[in-house]
Amino acid sequence: MSILDVVKGAATVLGMEVPTLVYGNTTREMVEMQELANVMASEIVDAYDWQKLLVLKTFTGDGITADFDLPDDYERMQQTSSLWSSRWLWETSHLTSPNDWIELQVTPIASVNGYWIIFGDQFHQWPVMATAETVKFFYVSKEIITASNGSLKPAFTEDADTFRLSERLLKMAIIYRWKQNKGLAYQQAQGDFETLKLSLIDKDAGSKPVVSGIPSLSWRGRRSAWPGTVTGAA
Q: pLDDT digit string (tens) for 178-216?
A: 999 999 999 999 999 999 999 999 999 776 665 555 555
Task: Mark whether 57 and 136 lie in a shared domain.
Answer: yes
Q: Which of 63-67, 68-72, 220-224 has the lowest mean pLDDT?
A: 220-224
Q: What are phi and psi of 33, to 5 degrees?
A: -65, -40
Task: Mark whether 39 and 65 lie in a shared domain.
Answer: no
- The answer as to whether 221 is a domain residue is no
pLDDT category at 113 given cuts 50, 70, 90 is: confident
Q: Say if residue 172's pLDDT is above 80.
A: yes
- The answer as to whether 153 is a domain residue is no
Task: Mark whether 43 and 60 lie in a shared domain.
Answer: no
Rounded to 5°, the CA angle 225-229-234 comes to 135
Q: Say if residue 103's pLDDT is above 60.
A: yes
Cβ atoms 140, 45 nearer than 8 A: yes
- The answer as to whether 57 is a domain residue is yes
**pLDDT, mean over the chain:** 89
Residue at a domain's end among 141, 157, 177: 141
Task: Mark whether 135 and 176 lie in a shared domain.
Answer: no
- Tell which wins on pLDDT, 6 or 97: 6
- The answer as to whether 220 is a domain residue is no
Q: With 0-12 CB in 10 A as exposed, 13-18 as middle and 19+ as buried, what is 68?
A: middle
According to the model, what pLDDT value does residue 224 have?
47
Q: Say if residue 44's pLDDT is above 50.
A: yes
Task: Mark whether 21 and 7 lie in a shared domain.
Answer: yes
Task: Mark whether 188 and 124 lie in a shared domain.
Answer: no
Task: Mark whether 123 and 75 lie in a shared domain.
Answer: yes
- The answer as to whether 106 is a domain residue is yes
Of the chain, the end-to-end C-alpha distance in Å amounts to: 70
pLDDT category at 108 given cuts 50, 70, 90 is: confident
pLDDT category at 122 given cuts 50, 70, 90 is: very high
The domain tally of the chain equals: 2
- The answer as to whether 227 is a domain residue is no
Mean pLDDT of 57-69: 95
Domain containing 72: what range?
A: 51-141
Q: Which of 36-45, 53-62, 90-99, 105-114 has the lowest mean pLDDT?
A: 105-114
Mean pLDDT of 62-76: 95
- The answer as to whether 29 is a domain residue is yes
- The answer as to whether 226 is a domain residue is no
Cβ atoms 172, 196 nearer than 8 A: yes
Q: Say if residue 82's pLDDT is above 80.
A: yes
Task: Mark whether 130 and 96 lie in a shared domain.
Answer: yes
